[in-house]
Amino acid sequence: MMDTLIPILVAAVAAGTPMVFAALGELVTEKSGVLNLGVEGMMLMGAVTGFAVASQTGNPWVGTLAGMVAGAAMALIFAVLTLNLMANQVASGLALTLFGVGLSAFLGKPYESVSLTVAPPPAIPLLAEIPVLGPLLFKYHVLVYVSWALFAVIAWFLYRSRAGLVLRSIGESPESAHAIGYPVIRIRYLATLFGGAMAGLGGAYLSEFYAPLWVEGMTAGRGWIALALVVFATWRPARVMIGAYLFGGVTIAQFFAQGAGIAIASQFLSSLPYLATIVVLVFISRNLATIRLNAPVSLAKSYRPD
C-alpha cells in the first residue's frame, strides 16, 4: 500500500505546484479587491519567457526570474486598464488570457520541440534517506520548497502583519481605507503585480522544470483551475494548498489506475482531475457563511479615489 501511495503523493505535490504558485498569487490579488481572470495568460507568458530565456542563457534560474517578470508585466497591463482606466475587471481579465495565449504561442514558435536539459533535483542528504518521510518531504525540486516558504510568508503576511491588514481592508472597503489615508491604488497595483509574478513563476516551473519543454497552450487550463481554487478555498491559503495538491493527486492517480490496468476509459480518466476539483469546490463552498466571512466585499469593483 505504502509503495503505491508514496509515489502518488510525491507526484501529486510536483503536479500541484504550478497551481500553488498561481493560486496563492491570485489570492493576494483578490484579497486587495482586484479580480484578475488573466491567470492562464500570465502563466503561459511566464512559461514561454522562462523557457526561452533558460534555453538561451543556459541558466534556469535566470529563466525563472524572467518568467516572473513576464507574468508581472502582463499583470501591469491589466492594472493600468482596470486601476487607472477603470475598465471592467472581468472583461479585462478575460482579454488578458486571450492575449497571453496568443502572444505566448507566437513568441514560443522557435522553441517548440526544443528540449532543455535540466539537472535532476538534488535529494537532501540524510533526511532523504528516512523511510516514508524521506521521499515524502525531502526529495522535491527546490521550487517546491520555495512554494512552501511562500505559502508560510503569505499566510503570515495576510493574517499576522499590519501590511496584510491594510491590504485586506482595501479589499473590503476601499472607501474607508482611502479615508484613513491608505494609498488604495498603489497597494492594489502591488497586489496585482505580485499575483502576476506568481502566475509567471508557476508557468516557468511548468515549462522549465516540470515538463521541461515548451508547447503552445501547455498550461492546459491550470490557470483556470488556480482561479477556481481560490474560490473553492474561500480565500484561505491553507485550503488553496490542499486544493492544488488534490488536483495534482487526481491527475496522477488516473495514470496509476491506467498503469495498474483498471478498465476505465482513459478519456474519462483524463477529465477526472477537472471533475473532481469542481465537485469538491462546489461541495466546500456550499457554506454561505464561510464565503461571506472570507470573500473580499469589494472584489472586482472599480474604485476611483476622489
Partner 1 sequence: MKPSSQPSSRVTRWALGLAAGAVLAAGAALAQAPLKVGFVYVSPVGDAGWTYQHDQGRKEMEKALSGKVETKFVENVPEGADAERVIRELASSGNKLIFTTSFGYMNPTIKVAAQFPNSVFEHATGYKTAKNVGIYNARFYEGRYLCGVIAGKMTKSNVAGYVAAFPIPEVVQGINAFTQGMRSVNPKAELKVIWTNSWYDPGREREAANTLISQGADVVTHHTDSTAVVQAAEEKGKYAFGYHSDMSKYGAHAHLTATTHQWGAYYTKIAQEVIAGNWKPASVWGGLKDGMIKLAPLNSAVPKDVATLVAAKEKDIVAGKLHPFQGPVKDNSGKERVAAGKTMSDDEMQKMDFYVEGVQGSLPKK
Interface with partner 1, residue 259, by CB under 8 A: yes
In the list 258, 285, 290, 302, the residue contacting partner 1 (rule: CB under 8 A) is 258
- By CB under 8 A, name the one of 13, 15, 39, 155 that touches partner 1: 15
Element (H, E) at 169: helix 162-172
CA distances 101 to 51, 66, 130, 148, 280, Å, are 15, 18, 43, 28, 28
Binding segment for partner 1 (CB under 8 A), chosen from 125-133, 172-180, 196-204, 214-222, is: 214-222
Q: How far apart are CA 103 and CA 215, in angstroms?
A: 13
Q: Is 210 near partner 1 (CB under 8 A)?
A: yes
Instruction: Kindly identify the residues of this chain, within the stretch 262-291, that bind partner 1 according to CB under 8 A.
Output: 262-263, 265-267, 270
Angle in degrees, 0-180, between the axes of helices 237-259 and 266-284, rounded to the nearest 10: 160
CA-CA distances (angstroms) from residue 64 to 40, 49, 147, 204? 17, 8, 13, 6
Q: How many CB atoms lie within 10 A of CB 46?
A: 40
Q: Does the footprint of partner 1 cover residue 125 (CB under 8 A)?
A: no
Q: Does 56 bind partner 1 (CB under 8 A)?
A: no
- Determine if 115 is a binding residue for partner 1 (CB under 8 A): yes
Q: Candidates 22, 75, 193, 206: give the one binding partner 1 (CB under 8 A).
A: 206
- Tell me which H or E stretch contains 255: helix 237-259
In the complex, what is the shortest distance from the CB of residue 51 to partner 1, in angstroms, rounded to a whole number? 11
Q: How many CB atoms lie within 10 A of CB 167?
A: 25
C-alpha cell read off for 68:
516572473
The yes or no reply on residue 1 touching partner 1 (CB under 8 A) is no
Cβ atoms of 6 and 133 within 8 Å: the answer is no
By CB under 8 A, which span of 21-29, 31-39, 113-121, 149-157 interacts with partner 1? 113-121
260 near partner 1 (CB under 8 A): yes
Angstrom distance (rounded) from CA 42 to CA 269: 28
1, 125, 261, 289: residue in contact with partner 1 (rule CB under 8 A): 261
From the CB of 11, what's the least distance to partner 1, in Å?
A: 6
- Candidate list 52, 53, 167, 218; residue touching partner 1; CB under 8 A: 218
- Binding of residue 142 to partner 1 (CB under 8 A): no
Give Cα 99 to chain centroid, integer Å.
Answer: 18
Choose, by CB under 8 A, the member of 114, 130, 275, 297 that binds partner 1.
114
- Should residue 211 be labelled a site residue for partner 1 when binding is judged by CB under 8 A? yes
d(CA 206, CA 47): 7
C-alpha cell at 167: 491590504
Q: Which residues bind partner 1 (CB under 8 A)?
A: 4, 7, 11, 15, 109-110, 112-115, 117, 120, 206, 210-213, 215, 218, 220, 251-252, 255-256, 258-263, 265-267, 270
